[in-house]
Structure 1
Amino acid sequence: MTRQEFCLLLISVIASVSGQFFLKAGASKLGKVNIDNVVNHIFRIITIPELLAGLAFYGLGALAYILLLTRVNLSIASPSVSLVYVFSVLLGYFLFKEAISITSIVGLSLIMSGVILVVWKK
């Protein structure tokens, strides 16, 4: 993977993780959805800046991923962006005080190992 390809991958991952952060922050302001307030919640999404920022970051992540796909095989790009899962769990732990189980740590370790094996040049 060249430096430019790595930068596109990094932008995609960081933008996607940022999108998840803002969506979680905005969803916390939105409150729990149920059958009685689902329509109201859908309309309120456009009034919460964090949710709009989250959607914008997801869009940026998707754009960077599309550009990455013009340069890298899908068999390399797709597993590589799974690092979003790793960073999202860490983000949840450090910023939202979410617990991480041993099972999650093992799973995240397997994801990271898999990405390393997939992108490793022989």
Structure 2
Amino acid sequence: MKYLAFILFTVLTNAAAQLMLKQGMLSLGPLTFSSDTAIARFFQILFNPWVFAGLATFAISMVSHLYVLSKVELSFAYPFLSLAYVAVAIFAYFIFREDLNAWRIAGIGFICVGTVLIAQSGRSTPAETATIETPAAKSIHIGSPT
């Protein structure tokens, strides 16, 4: 739980990137490609301010995620990324007026419950385990075995 703030930062930057990419693509309109305009269209998409900001935010999210992965188990950190779906669904409802029906709300609920259950496991990496000396001078290893 020590790195929860970094995990949530990763989730929020990931969700923000998705929202920026969506805004960028809305501003460009439906994509059509032809062989003579494909390269120009690619650069038009890439240098759209919203798309560019979304890609930059993804890069920030990835750096944050790499930091988190250096500190906690993948099986603990990765499921938190599902919260990005929750954030995107909620913000997309308010920003883009996307549908948020009962099935999606139920799915969001399940995602949240699952994430809470995973957060309760709160397992640390072997580097964060400790050794405690008992009065009988015996060492007890606390944490996951290495």
Q: Same fold (TM over 0.5)?
A: yes
In 2: Cα distance, 1:23 partner to 1:106 partner: 26
1:69-94: per-residue Cα shift (whole Å, max 9, x none)? 11111111011111000000001001
What residue in structure 2 maps to residue 106 of structure 1?
106
What residue in structure 1 maps to residue 134 of structure 2?
none
Structure 2: segments with no counterpart, 5+ residues: 123-146
What residue in structure 2 maps to residue 56 of structure 1?
56
- Equivalence map 1:1-122=2 (5 Å): 1-2=1-2, 5-36=3-34, 39=38, 40-121=40-121
| 1:121, distance to aligned residue in structure 2 (A) | 4.1
1:41-87: per-residue Cα shift (whole Å, max 9, x none)? 31212331111000000111111011001111111101111100000
TM-score, reference length from structure 1? 0.91
**Are 1:30 and 1:41, in contact at CA under 8 Å, matched by a contact in 2?**
no
In 1: Cα distance, 2:29 partner to 2:67 partner: 35
In 2: Cα distance, 1:76 partner to 1:46 partner: 33
Higher RCO (C-alpha under 8 Å, 6+ residues apart) = 1
- Counterpart amino acid of 1:54? G
CA RMSD of aligned residues (A): 1.6
**Are 2:33 and 2:41, in contact at CA under 8 Å, matched by a contact in 1?**
no
Matched residue pairs, number?
A: 120
Bigger radius of gyration: 2
In 1: Cα distance, 2:115 partner to 2:47 partner: 38
State, as a whole percentage, how many aligned pairs show the same letter. Answer: 29
Which 4+ runs in 1 deviate beyond 3 A? 35-38
Q: Relative to total residues, which structure has the larger helix share, 1 or 2?
A: 1
